[in-house]
Chain A
């Protein structure tokens, strides 16, 4: 694989051809915020948190799906980008019912961490306060749609890594909802293998292990990337 040269935030960086801007940046200690990105599954460019500026175009690029190219001059941290990211986060907080103090993921939540990093202390929009269900029909796991940000990680992990495709989405727009099988309750979803990968990749407290109290749900971020890595190693050996 040939090597390419690019500039991120004024820093000259070498990258391997085929890498995404996000991969290149993170490999060089430059963090770009993400919410829908999940190492090991197909990136979808859905959350728009990872948008970056590229010299020569006024279109913002999703760094998780844009390949790094030779000579690119990229900025990941301009005031404009920070303002856009704050708005996106505020939109998420206003969309459903995110009450950190009583959440199982309090202190370990990616949405909460991003809000802290972006110094969000209030939300500029009216809270929508939708009435959403909490499905506790599964023996070990629960899903609280009030905390879901529709990043789609659980859908992709279930489909691409576990191969079960138990999860999908129903409706569209603001009414979109994660479903199990044919919109059955999780406990009735016969395709679910109870593997729990969806719970581990969920960035918020929407998917959780039952029986835990506030702040007690700590997700294993290494599970899915580790699994994918192991599979690749085994595949290479064979």
Chain B
């Protein structure tokens, strides 16, 4: 497919859509499909057909609209009316109202909520608009234009420059400059080279990457193809968790359709560029999100991390130069190519440019997926977009970065979200999980929960992570059970330091973070736990005498 045929497909599909008076968008993400949204789609189609309205109303599935807690969500265009918690039984009523140009107030959700108006979408721009199972729909919304632009211009360095200028940083958590990463691989003269999309999202409470793939798989594929062209790779892998069946299904279909249209495969769009993508399904190990372990797993080995250096750009898959980017990072790429690096960099704060997708969960009114500009404050995210803490409870802390991150207490809510600011507070940006904690939760129990996760997910290769996380978990249990002493607190702090500084990979190096940050901001809870232990109190008194 070249630019002309792309435009043709786009126009044809847009014309087809323009024939309808109304479009009904039904969310087909995991949250809404689990709440029966596909049966709702069938029912809507039946009703439309039975009333002979198939030429004026089109019901189609789209990706996630973000408000997962209110699913199934239905959006009616062009009127932009949003219905929530819609059941198949509501289908007839919805159509009847639509025909009469009336709104079904019973199901209506206000689209003027800050949840919708305060967001700014880049990676999620097609999410909730495009049918994730239709390449034509993606193309009609400007899809694959960026890839063909890069290919027809044929200037790899110019495209690389654009990515560098955008200031895009890895959205998987570490925040390394994407442009620099690309450049390292670009500069290597040996071939073959590989491109990997890391879709092994595993933090508890994180579902950004799953949602992006389920909602807009082609944007990830397009981003990968652009990356491959720039760095000089002809083979790509998407490493996706087997626990994401819908994402896998949509990726398979998207790869098949893109190949059919010659947007993947050999001689793409009549140029000399070849690129094919294979899927690799992760067998449920969190550590395989770590890039060296991920590559071992792609090659069919046990998913154990390897010491870095050598970095993947130098010696990656089968010892060849390899580029690894996260799903969200790649989904941003077509947008940057299309609109320019400066456009992307115009949003954000300091060295954190663009927007970031967060998965809001925990004690928050609007659980769901949001995309916000970097530099927004945590307060705006939680109180305005998220609708605050429900049940009259008070906000205690926000946890970002999952088992590798930390807690930010309520008094720092006016912090602007950026890689640097979150690091400074002892939390991390992470991949985008944001768990809201209210005043009914114990921070020690939260820390223990994450430590149990890290302990279970440690690969077992290096001693500090394997045995250290188990001992930290044991110590935390003493605190939870009221059996801890002052000595245990000292031990806990020392052990956290050792595990951080001596572990082999990011999993172990960051595993103590939830403990360290709760010790920093909620130390009183640890002290109170010691006071609950009668033996410890006695000993404290003796010491003080």
Chain A interface (Cβ within 8 Å of chain B)?
Answer: 44-48, 51, 60, 62, 65-66, 83-84, 87-88, 91-92, 94-95, 124-126, 128, 149-150, 152, 168-169, 171-176
A91-B468, A150-B461, A174-B467 provided; 16 other pairs, C-beta below 8 A?
A: A45-B504, A46-B461, A46-B463, A48-B464, A62-B504, A65-B307, A87-B464, A87-B498, A94-B467, A95-B467, A126-B474, A169-B302, A173-B455, A173-B458, A173-B460, A176-B466
Contact A173 B456, CB 8 Å, known A48-B462, A94-B467, A124-B491: yes
Q: Which residues of B contact A92 (CB under 8 A)?
A: 463, 467
Write the residues of chain B forming the contact surface with A, with a CB cutoff of 8 angstroms: 285, 287, 302, 306-307, 455-464, 466-471, 474, 491, 494-495, 498, 501-504
Do A172 and B504 have beta carbons less than 8 Å apart?
Answer: no
From known contacts A88-B498, A91-B463, infer whether A48 and B471 are also in contact, taking CB-CB under 8 Å.
Answer: no
**What distance in Å separates the Cβ of B440 from its nearest Cβ neighbour in chain A?**
30
Cα of A171 to Cα of B285 in the assembled complex, Å: 11
Q: Is the CB of A173 within 8 A of B469?
A: yes
A150 touches B502 (CB 8 A): no
Chain A minimum-CB-distance residue to B501? A60
A-B contact pairs, 6 of them (CB 8 A): A44-B461, A47-B462, A48-B502, A87-B494, A95-B466, A169-B460
Q: Chain A interface mostly helix, strand, loop or mixed?
A: loop
Nearest-neighbour CB distance to chain A for B516, whole angstroms, equals: 16
Could you say which of B287, B306, B463, B470 contacts A48, with CB atoms under 8 Å apart? B463
Q: How far is the CA of A48 from the CA of B462 in the complex (A)?
A: 7
> In the complex, what residues of B have CB within 8 A of residue A149's CB?
463
- Shortest distance in angstroms between A60's beta carbon and chain B's nearest beta carbon? 6
- Residues from chain B with a CB closer than 8 A to the CB of A174 are 455, 458, 460, 466-467, 469-470
* Interface core residue of B469, B495, B503 (most chain A CB under 10 Å): B495
* Contact (Cβ within 8 A) A150 B307: no
Identify the 4 closest CB pairs spanning chains A and B, nearest first. A176-B460, A173-B458, A91-B467, A45-B307
Number of A-B contacts (CB under 8 A): 95
Chain B contact residues: over half helix, strand or loop, or mixed? helix
B237 to chain A, nearest CB (A): 22
Contact in complex: B504, A173 (CB < 8 Å): no
Residue contact B287 to A172, C-beta cutoff 8 Å: yes
Interface core residue of B456, B459, B466 (most chain A CB under 10 Å):
B466
Task: Give A95's nearest chain B residue, CB to CB.
Answer: B467
CA distance A129 to B458 in the complex (A): 20
What is the distance, in angstroms, from B294's C-beta to the closest C-beta of chain A? 15
Residue of B306, B457, B501 most packed against chain A (CB within 10 A)? B501
* Contact A172-B459, Cβ < 8 Å, known A48-B464, A87-B494, A150-B466: yes
By a CB distance below 8 angstroms, the chain A residues around B471 are 91, 94, 125-126
A128 touching B460 by the CB < 8 A rule? no
Interchain CB contact under 8 A, B463 and A172: no
Give the CA-CA distance A93 to B306 in the complex, in Å. Answer: 25
Q: Whole-angstrom distance from the CB of B478 to the nearest CB of chain A?
A: 9
**Cβ-closest chain B residue relative to A149:** B463
List B contacts of A172 (CB < 8 A). 285, 287, 457-460
Residues of A within 8 A of B474 (CB): 125-126
* Nearest-CB residue, chain A, relative to B286: A172
Contact of B460 among A47, A168, A171 (CB under 8 A): A171
**Which A residues touch B469, using CB under 8 A?**
173-174
Cβ-defined contact, A173 with B459, below 8 A:
yes
Residues of chain B lying within 8 A (CB to CB) of residue A51: 502
Residue of A nearest to B307 (CB): A45
Q: Which of A65, A83, A168, A173 contacts B466 (CB 8 A)?
A: A173
Chain A residues whose CB sits within 8 angstroms of the CB of B460 once the complex forms: 150, 169, 171-176
From residue A140, how far is it (CB to closest CB) to chain B in Å? 28
C-alpha gap A92/B502 in the complex (Å): 14
Measured between beta carbons, the chain B residues less than 8 angstroms from A94 are 467, 471
A-chain residues with CB within 8 Å of residue B455 when the two chains form the complex: 173-174
Contacts of B467 in A (CB 8 A): 91-92, 94-95, 174
Measured in the bound complex, the distance between the Cα atoms of B496 and A84 in whole Å is 11
CB-CB under 8 A from B461, the residues of chain A are 44, 46, 150, 152
How near does chain B come to A235, taking the closest CB pair, in angstroms? 21
Q: How far is the CA of A93 from the CA of B402 in the complex (A)?
A: 30
Contact B498 A84 (CB under 8 A): yes
By a CB distance below 8 angstroms, the chain B residues around A88 are 463-464, 498, 502
> Smallest CB-CB separation from B498: which chain A residue?
A87
Q: Is the CB of A87 within 8 A of B495?
A: yes
A45 CA to B474 CA in the complex, in Å? 26
Q: Distance (Å) between the CB of B355 and the closest chain A CB?
A: 31
Looking at the complex, which one of A84, A126, A169 makes contact with B502 (CB distance below 8 Å)?
A: A84
B461 to chain A, nearest CB (A): 5
Taking CB atoms, residues of chain A closer than 8 Å to B459 are 172-173, 176
User: What is the distance, in angstroms, from B33's C-beta to the closest C-beta of chain A?
Assistant: 31
Best-buried of A66, A91, A94, A124 by chain B (most CB within 10 Å):
A91
Q: How far is the CA of A168 from the CA of B501 in the complex (A)?
A: 28
* Distance, CA A128 to CA B477, complexed state (A): 14
Chain A residues, Cβ within 8 Å of B491: 124-125
Question: What residue of chain A has the Cβ atom nearest to residue B478's Cβ?
Answer: A126
Q: Which residues of B contact A169 (CB under 8 A)?
A: 302, 460
A200 to B463, alpha carbons, bound, how many Å? 22
- With both chains docked as a complex, state the minimum distance between the C-beta of A20 and any C-beta of chain B, in angstroms: 11
Q: What residues of A have a CB within 8 angstroms of the CB of B463 in the complex?
A: 46-48, 88, 91-92, 149-150
- Bound together, the chains give a CA A9 to CA B361 distance in angstroms of 51
A91 vs B475: C-alpha distance when bound (angstroms)? 13
What distance in Å separates the Cβ of B156 from its nearest Cβ neighbour in chain A? 31
Distance in angstroms between the alpha carbons of A91 and B67 in the assembled complex: 45
Most interface-central of A125, A128, A152 (chain B CB within 10 A): A125
Complex: chain B residue closest to A125, CB-CB: B471
CA distance A3 to B198 in the complex (A): 40
In the bound complex, residues from chain B placing their C-beta under 8 Å from that of A152 are 461
With a CB–CB cut-off of 8 A, which chain B residues contact A125? 471, 474, 491, 495
